[in-house]
Amino acid sequence: MPTLPLLLLSSLLQGDGIPASALGAVLKLSPARVALTPVREQATHVSPSVGFPDWLRAAPFAETGFILEIVVDVVVAEELNARFKGKVVAVENIPPDMKIADIGPQTVENFVSELRHSRTVFWNGPVGVEEIPQFARGTEALARVLTELKATTIIGGGSTAEVINALGLADRVSFVSTGGGASLKFLGGEELPGVVALRDKGTL
């Protein structure tokens, strides 16, 4: 049982996001929180890939005392490459010709506030385009805060692991795994094929 409060910090900007099973497992823990990088549903001109999946809309947050912290502002740019500068806009004001590159400063502040209340943190996925310096600020800010927490901090996913290693912070978090999706499935109680195979061979 993880030490509570627990925070599951996950990116839906890159990849499939949180498996329903993992969210279901977290929902059973109270107090628990999830900080996500999909934008609010009322935001316009946003790709469905960064919206809310149906199972997330249906999650029984109110019944569990569960808190969902989502993005309120973002950094947008004409193109996601180093030649373009970003600008901060509220999620309801995202221009139709701009692309989301990072979370905004208010969202960073909100997420940091949740992190400081947490005693166990699972982080899966950068919150911006971390390969481009001007769009990596949100990800780097959250990474540095993790190292200041008196908490168990678990980093999952190749891109997230790269950020932690590049910042020289790997020895200041509890555990780093390159298996992001696998980590979340494991959290959700799903069996992992590699673990099953080892168990069947009597290795575990």
What pLDDT sits at residue 55? 47
Cβ–Cβ under 8 Å, residues 143 and 126: no
In the chain the first and final C-alpha atoms are separated, in Å, by: 21
Residue 57 counted as domain residue: yes
Give the count of domains, the chain.
1
**pTM value > 0.85:** no
Residue 35: which pLDDT band, with cuts at 50, 70 and 90? low
What pLDDT sits at residue 104? 92
Average pLDDT of the residues in 108-120: 88
With a pLDDT cut of 90, the percent of the chain lying above it is 28
Residue 147 counted as domain residue: yes
CA atoms within 13 A on the CB side of 117: 14
Average pLDDT of the residues in 145-155: 93
Average pLDDT of the residues in 174-202: 80
Average pLDDT of the residues in 106-111: 90
Residue 14: which pLDDT band, with cuts at 50, 70 and 90? very low
Give the domain CATH number at 67.
Answer: 3.40.50.1260
Give the highest mean pLDDT range of 29-33, 72-76, 169-173: 169-173
CA 116 to chain centroid: 15
Q: In terms of residue numbers, what domain contains 151?
A: 6-200
With a pLDDT cut of 70, the percent of the chain lying above it is 66
Q: What is the mean pLDDT of the chain?
A: 76
Residue 137 counted as domain residue: yes
Residue 59 counted as domain residue: yes
Residue 141 counted as domain residue: yes
Containing 148, the helix (H) or strand (E) segment is none
Residue 93 counted as domain residue: yes
Residue 1 counted as domain residue: no
CB-neighbour burial class of residue 87 (10 A; exposed 0-12, middle 13-18, buried 19+): middle
Residue 92 counted as domain residue: yes
What pLDDT sits at residue 65? 54
Cβ–Cβ under 8 Å, residues 55 and 38: no
